[in-house]
Amino acid sequence: MAFAVSKRNAMAFAVTLLLVSIPMSSSTLQQDFLQCLVENSDISFPITAAFYSPDQNATLFKEELESTAQNLRYLTPSNPKPVFIFEPMYETHVQAAVVCAKKLQLHLRLRSGGHDYEGLSFVAENETPFVIVDLSKLRQIDVDVDSNSAWAHAGATVGEVYYRIQEKSQTHGFPAGLCSSLGIGGHLVGGAYGSMMRKFGLGADNVLDARIIDANGKTLDRAAMGEDVFWALRGGGGGSFGVILAWKIKLVPVPATVTVFTVTKTLEQDGTKTASKTTRPGNRTISTSYQGQFLGDSNRLMQVMQKSFPELGLTKKDCTETSWIKSVMYIAGFPSSAAPEALLDGKSLFKSYFKAKSDFVEEPIPVEGLEGLWKKLLEEDSPLTIWNPYGGMMARIPESEIPFPHRKGTLFKIQWLSSWSDGKASEEKHMKWMREMYSYMEKYVSKNPRRAYVNYRDLDLGVNEEESDAREWGSKYFKGNFERLVKIKAEFDPENFFRHEQSIPTKIG
């Protein structure tokens, strides 16, 4: 629910001499990295085409850096920039990139979709020099309906995964997120919320295997990495244990007919006593929209709603019967006329300057609490809050099954978001509002710890620094699972090669 206020596989190939065409103005680091790549992998194409650097072509470098980034707050001139961006064409290139970065003491940032809320996949504030390994060229998807599974490479988007599934079957799906431009590599490492989570759990709950590259440049599958590391990958957050090459996901059954609906109410229509998903209000009122996806036809949906949620006042005319793939597009905000092929575009539908936070709610928020929240929302220019109801499978999976711990006892998750368009000019104002609103909500949300969702990254919770205790933020994302994550990290990546501001540390305290 939401409220808003208006205003690829390894291959062998021969080395060519095209490497010598690198412009003399390229950095020594890039030249050394290129030479190391040649020594550690087979290259058969103009390797410079896989690199973007400001020395070679500042315009192309800027375009590539900004191509998938959602949060424009981290693309200002003052933000640190990578020495170069490397786009591997094959898995062997990723292996070599890890080996070479380690040899040359280059810090790596790993990017599959570029959606990290705090820009950690493309900005490193305290690591110099750093490079980006962009996995967007590794996007092969192999669907096997007979085994109810699929392999999806890290650079593929969620939308592409959905599309390739429906290409093979109209009665199979996958319970991942609603944003079709999310990179599947980074999406599943945080848990992966979706509209079918009450039926099937998170995307990460439906992962069968994975292929990663460790800090030594070795490719490991589930059997080779061991069950502890496999556990850590499914919800422990990205950039801590290795480079995700591909996920093997479990397909879930979906009916031929799926029903979707959106019911919108304003405060004037007693919206306080109901509560919801996407909004476009006007005249400075609060609009609440209830959006649903039901795995079945509208007749059955109406029976369920009249029994369980009559207060919403859902009618048959609010409902649209469609296919699973079109229901996914509906939830994602595509126009009804859009064909499924639109999911292959991979372009983010949302680019803005923004700040986000998250909460989990365990007790109903009283009316006075909601009325106070409405007042806070009306103070901001363009706020949005999305509430995801829990129950069903989410309450049945134990909180230690994977690192994502937010399970039984949770009523709903909240995402808070404020966006603006004038960059640094008004950033301080909007950040101040967000923090004040977050403070106001403290007494209505989870406590000890006040929990948060790692895929809605929030550096306000704390960062890895020499004198800091990572438990300050780690317990909020992972509760009691954090200590196990730290232990696995210390054993699997003891030199802390894979790291960022909120990566799992090798020790705490």
DSSP state of 219: E
pLDDT in tens, 160-176: 999 999 999 999 999 99
Band (272; pLDDT cuts 50, 70, 90):
low
Q: Is 456 marked active-site?
A: yes
pLDDT in tens, 303-318: 999 999 999 999 999 9
Mean per-residue pLDDT over the chain, rounded: 90
Whether residue 350 is predicted with pLDDT greater than 90 in this model: the reply is no
Q: Which two tokens stand for residue 502?
A: 């909120």
Q: Which two tokens stand for residue 484?
A: 């196990």
Q: Which of 127, 106, 235 is nearest to 501 (CA)?
A: 127
| Whole-angstrom distance, CA of residue 183 vs CA of residue 64 | 16
CA angle 361, 362, 364 (to 5 degrees): 85
Taking residues 206-233, report their average pLDDT: 98
Band (281; pLDDT cuts 50, 70, 90):
very low
| Whole-angstrom distance, CA of residue 94 vs CA of residue 90 | 7
DSSP 169-218: -SSEE----S-TTSBHHHHHTT----TTHHHH--SGGGEEEEEEE-TTS-
| Whole-angstrom distance, CA of residue 217 vs CA of residue 195 | 36
Q: Which of 388-392, 396-400, 505-509 has the lowest mean pLDDT?
A: 505-509
Q: Strand 51-52 and strand 85-86: pairing?
A: antiparallel
SS3 content of the chain, % helix, strand, coil (to 5): 35, 20, 45
Whether residue 15 is predicted with pLDDT greater than 80 in this model: the reply is no
pLDDT of 478 reads 98
Given a contact cutoff of 8 angstroms between Cβ atoms, the answer to whether 340 and 326 are in contact is yes
Given a contact cutoff of 8 angstroms between Cβ atoms, the answer to whether 110 and 67 are in contact is no
pLDDT of 128 reads 86
Band (280; pLDDT cuts 50, 70, 90):
very low
Percent of the chain scoring above 90 in pLDDT: 81
| Whole-angstrom distance, CA of residue 29 vs CA of residue 14 | 24
Please provide the distance, in angstroms rounded to a whole number, between the alpha carbons at the two ends of the chain: 38
CA 374, 379, 381, 383 torsion-angle sign: negative
Whether residue 372 is predicted with pLDDT greater than 90 in this model: the reply is yes
Percent of the chain scoring above 70 in pLDDT: 90
| Whole-angstrom distance, CA of residue 280 vs CA of residue 406 | 30
User: Cβ of 17: how many Cβ atoms within 10 Å?
Assistant: 6
User: Cβ of 291: how many Cβ atoms within 10 Å?
Assistant: 20
Q: Which of 34, 136, 71, 157 is nearest to 421 (CA)?
A: 71
Active-site entry in 90, 330, 390, 456: 456
Q: Which of 1-5, 346-350, 384-388, 406-410 has the lowest mean pLDDT?
A: 1-5
Identify the residue whose tokens are 């079918």.
196
| Whole-angstrom distance, CA of residue 279 vs CA of residue 267 | 13
User: Cβ of 323: how many Cβ atoms within 10 Å?
Assistant: 18
pLDDT of 45 reads 64
| Whole-angstrom distance, CA of residue 359 vs CA of residue 369 | 15
Whether residue 24 is predicted with pLDDT greater than 80 in this model: the reply is no
Q: Which is more confidently placed, 37 or 251?
A: 251
Q: Which of 1-15, 24-38, 185-199 has the lowest mean pLDDT?
A: 1-15
Give the largest CA-CA distance in the chain. Answer: 72
Taking residues 10-14, report their average pLDDT: 31
Q: Which two tokens stand for residue 289?
A: 């929209």
Band (38; pLDDT cuts 50, 70, 90):
confident
pLDDT in tens, 435-472: 999 999 999 999 999 999 999 999 999 999 876 689 98
Question: What are the two backbone dihedrals, phi and then psi, of residue 111, each rounded to the nearest 5 degrees?
Answer: -130, 125
pLDDT in tens, 259-271: 999 999 887 776 5
pLDDT of 27 reads 66
pLDDT of 351 reads 86
pLDDT of 285 reads 82
| Whole-angstrom distance, CA of residue 484 vs CA of residue 400 | 10
pLDDT of 191 reads 97
Whether residue 204 is predicted with pLDDT greater than 70 in this model: the reply is yes
| Whole-angstrom distance, CA of residue 360 vs CA of residue 462 | 18
| Whole-angstrom distance, CA of residue 108 vs CA of residue 42 | 21
Q: Strand 243-250 and strand 252-253: pairing?
A: unpaired
pLDDT of 325 reads 98
Element (H, E) at 434: helix 424-440
pLDDT in tens, 139-167: 999 999 999 999 999 999 999 999 999 99
Element (H, E) at 389: strand 383-389
Given a contact cutoff of 8 angstroms between Cβ atoms, the answer to whether 189 and 237 are in contact is yes
pLDDT in tens, 220-260: 999 999 999 999 999 999 999 999 999 999 999 999 999 99
Q: Which two tokens stand for residue 52?
A: 């973007």
pLDDT in tens, 106-139: 999 999 988 999 999 999 988 889 999 999 999 9
Given a contact cutoff of 8 angstroms between Cβ atoms, the answer to whether 86 and 56 are in contact is no
Q: What are the structural domains of the chain?
A: 29-134 (3.30.43.10), 141-254+460-492 (3.30.465.10), 353-459 (3.40.462.20)
Question: What are the two backbone dihedrals, phi and then psi, of residue 333, each rounded to the nearest 5 degrees?
Answer: 95, 10
